Amino acid sequence: MATPDQPRTAPGLDTIEAIARATLASLPPEFRAHLGDVVLIVEDLADDETLDALGIEHPLDLSGLYHGRPIGEKSSMESGALPDRIHLYRRAILEEWIETGVGLDELVAHVMIHEVGHHFGLSDEDMHALEEAVGES
């Protein structure tokens, strides 16, 4: 822990990714079994193209994003599609961490589970239940 005389550094991309991967590992097996092909990407901020496509003006307003089609909408006839991706945006997560006082592990897990929920086509209620299940493990 940093003392008042020592500068503190913000958690890096690798720290956010480690928390996200630990969250994935804590998911129930029936969820983990369908996440093997999903790519996790941790970046500082969303690019302008992504923000424009979502109608978001400020990059700190987007902490995570799922790119892909929910499992229930996929077809075995599809080929050549990019793999599903979950993006986590470090600076937006850190901004929320500072503003809310929520623990970093808890916040990253919340964002990660929300994006995993999109992969499965879950409702917000189902995402909250999954988050509670992960918190209990």
In a domain, 5, yes or no: no
Tokens at 33, concatenated: 């079994």
pLDDT tens digit string along 69-92?
Answer: 777 666 555 666 678 899 999 999
In a domain, 6, yes or no: no
Q: pLDDT band at 53, cuts 50/70/90? A: very high
Residue 137: per-residue pLDDT: 58
In this structure, what CATH number is given to the domain that contains residue 46? 3.30.2010.20
The residue segments making up the domain with residue 128 are 13-70+81-136
Please state, as a whole number, how many other Cβ atoms lie within 10 Å of the Cβ of residue 31.
19
In a domain, 105, yes or no: yes
Residue 117: per-residue pLDDT: 87
Distance CA(61)–CA(110), nearest Å, equals: 15
Q: pLDDT band at 96, cuts 50/70/90? A: very high
- Summarize the confidence of residues 62-66 as an average pLDDT: 95
In a domain, 100, yes or no: yes
Distance CA(51)–CA(18), nearest Å, equals: 25
Q: What is the pTM of this model?
A: 0.83
- The alpha carbon torsion through 47, 48, 53, 54 (nearest 10 deg) reads 70
In a domain, 130, yes or no: yes
Domain total in the chain: 1
pLDDT of residue 28 exceeding 60, the answer is yes
In a domain, 35, yes or no: yes
